[in-house]
Amino acid sequence: MRDHKMMYGVYLRAGLLSSLILFILAFLFVPYADPEAYKLKREIVTMVEEISAQMDKYEEPPPLERPKVAVEAESEVAEEAVETIADTEFEEDLIRTMPTGPDIEIVPYYKVEVKPKPIFQQKPRYPDLARRAGIEGQAVVKALVDIDGSVMDVQILKSSGNQMLDESALVAARKWKFSPAKQRDKYVRVYVSIPINFRLVEGG
């Protein structure tokens, strides 16, 4: 009796060889059938329209002659009536600039022979927000008095601790009026300090 386990390799090689021979014989003797062309179920008709690429040449119009004499064209915009603004009672607060000139000098306050004295003192406006918040304080403004007694320039010398109070103090100090300062019988400019207090009173 044969041992099939020992003959396993022989059977495998014989099987592969016989399969290869069968495939070769099949390719040699089986007839080759040409595939049929695909046929459309319905006929599609395409229409081709020939378009000429040649474009007609248009004649260019002759250039227009420019008029030798300029002609004024009529305006199509109607003239509007000019309305005048009525006079108002608005008082413009001009911020004066300090002119630079050798004929007008700025003398320190302690050297001035005739000191400037306040003639008109503008009362500062208490800011509403500061009033409602109960904010008080004193702002010291450094003001330059011109030769006619008006205030030319202002700046905060000592802050009140609140910006709203400082701004209100500057606006009020610009409107102050002084008697002019004199040095050697000549009008001069001088810096003065203006303390402006902001105090709340009961019922105010």
Domain 109-198 class in CATH: alpha beta
How far apart, in whole angstroms, are the C-alpha atoms of residue 131 and residue 169? 15
User: Is the CB of residue 177 less than 8 Å from the CB of residue 116?
Assistant: no
Q: In the prediction, which pLDDT does 201 show? A: 81
User: What dihedral do alpha carbons 17, 23, 29, 31 form, nearest 10°?
Assistant: 180
Q: What is the pLDDT of residue 51?
A: 42
pLDDT in tens, 61-119: 566 666 555 444 443 433 333 343 344 443 444 445 554 445 678 989 989 999 999 99
> How is residue 69 written in tokens?
């004499």
Question: In whole angstroms, what is the distance from residue 179 CA to residue 105 CA?
Answer: 17
User: What pLDDT does residue 73 have?
Assistant: 43
C-alpha separations of 88 from 85, 91, 171 in Å:
9, 9, 22
Mean pLDDT for each 10-residue chunk of the chain (204 residues)? 67 85 82 69 52 46 58 40 40 48 77 93 93 94 95 95 95 95 92 94 63
Helix (H) or strand (E) holding 169: helix 163-173
Question: Is the Cα dihedral 120, 91, 174, 160 positive or negative?
Answer: positive
Which secondary structure element, helix H or strand E, spans residue 155, and what is its range?
strand 151-158
Helix (H) / strand (E) containing 119: strand 118-120
- 169 in the Ramachandran plot: left (φ > 0), alpha (ψ -120 to 50) or beta? alpha
Residue for token pair 């306050």: 109
Strand partners, 193: 142
Whole-number pLDDT of residue 39 = 67
Give pLDDT, residue 15. Answer: 85
Query: What is the per-residue pLDDT for 24?
Result: 87
